[in-house]
Copies of this chain bind each other. A is one copy, B any other.
């Protein structure tokens, strides 16, 4: 195996997954795959930030219920989110009483969490571990862009932050699917400075990690039934297809992006599609996990991407360092 990819000796099971989304997501094409759809943006809480934490908590509890495990059966939680100082995760997980590793991978967090949870189990450090993440349209807008009340206009390349959370429970023993490989990504900065065009900033990182994965494993792209990025959106996904096409590789028939799946396409609001840690987490833990269990796909390469800028770095004129972490998920061990 090449240095960026590790093959897990005893691939851990994704023994259960759960996802929670908001109303807009629950009205979309994947509505039947979500475990819980909120009636408003508050999930019973006072603030949008606490609503985001509540979604994480609900997702983890539902995943634990499905796995028939108590919180104390988890050795570790790996969690992160988009909010400054990752308060979505710290407040969401604070009552769980489970050893906690905080992550920051922006929208790549679900893959980062799955990677580290799988490695700690396969390394013999844990029997069970969880990967949890979330995003919330309202908390993200006011942090990264404008107060919602301002009614700011959106550019055509902008992506709509998903209100949603996902939780995965990984176990050394358990049913398919399994996490078989982890390809950790390098930081890639293509020089894109437009924080409203994250897809363009992140596509080169996705290309870099996917290329490393194919090289390291010796697998061609068509080994996979589904190569799933999250979340490059419409524009970023097209850039990724172009980058592969330049190398003479056509991944189009196997390719999709979580940011293209969760909302109806070509609606006015969603512009270039969806984004947010909760997007790929909810799509993977809902639609994709259900599809794998049903045998619709047997080999999925989940390559989640993150744009690692902040409002401060953008205001200072800096470009956007990006990352893509990939995990190979298979029904065969």
The residues of A with any CB-CB pair to B shorter than 8 Å are 3-4, 6, 9, 46-47, 49-50, 72, 75-76, 80, 82-87, 90-91, 93-94, 96-106, 112, 115-116, 119-120, 122-125, 143, 182, 184-189, 306, 308-313, 316, 318, 321, 323, 325
CB distance from A92 to the nearest CB of B (A): 10
A87 touches B187 (CB 8 A): no
For A182, the closest partner residue in chain B by CB is B125
In the assembled complex, the Cα of A102 lies from the Cα of B119 at a distance in Å of 16
Nearest 9 interchain pairs by C-beta: A123-B123, A99-B184, A84-B84, A90-B308, A85-B310, A94-B187, A94-B321, A102-B104, A104-B104
In the assembled complex, the Cα of A185 lies from the Cα of B96 at a distance in Å of 12
In the assembled complex, the Cα of A80 lies from the Cα of B308 at a distance in Å of 12
CB distance from A195 to the nearest CB of B (A): 11
Given contacts A100-B187, A102-B308, 20 further A-B contacts (CB under 8 A): A9-B124, A49-B313, A50-B316, A76-B184, A80-B102, A85-B104, A86-B104, A86-B308, A87-B308, A87-B313, A90-B321, A96-B187, A99-B185, A100-B185, A100-B323, A101-B115, A102-B106, A102-B112, A119-B119, A119-B123
In the assembled complex, the Cα of A308 lies from the Cα of B100 at a distance in Å of 12
- Given A100-B184, A100-B323: A85 in contact with B309 (beta carbons within 8 A): yes
For A323, the closest partner residue in chain B by CB is B100
Residues of B within 8 A of A75 (CB): 3, 184
A85 touches B102 (CB 8 A): no
- Given A49-B313, A85-B84, A123-B120: A321 in contact with B101 (beta carbons within 8 A): no
In the assembled complex, the Cα of A123 lies from the Cα of B125 at a distance in Å of 8
Residues of B within 8 A of A99 (CB): 3-4, 184-186
Q: Select which of B9, B184, B310 is within 8 A of A83 by beta carbon.
A: B310
In the assembled complex, the Cα of A53 lies from the Cα of B100 at a distance in Å of 26
Q: Of A75, A94, A104, which is in contact with the most chain B CB atoms at under 10 Å from its CB? A: A104
B184 touches A101 (CB 8 A): yes
For A1, the closest partner residue in chain B by CB is B125
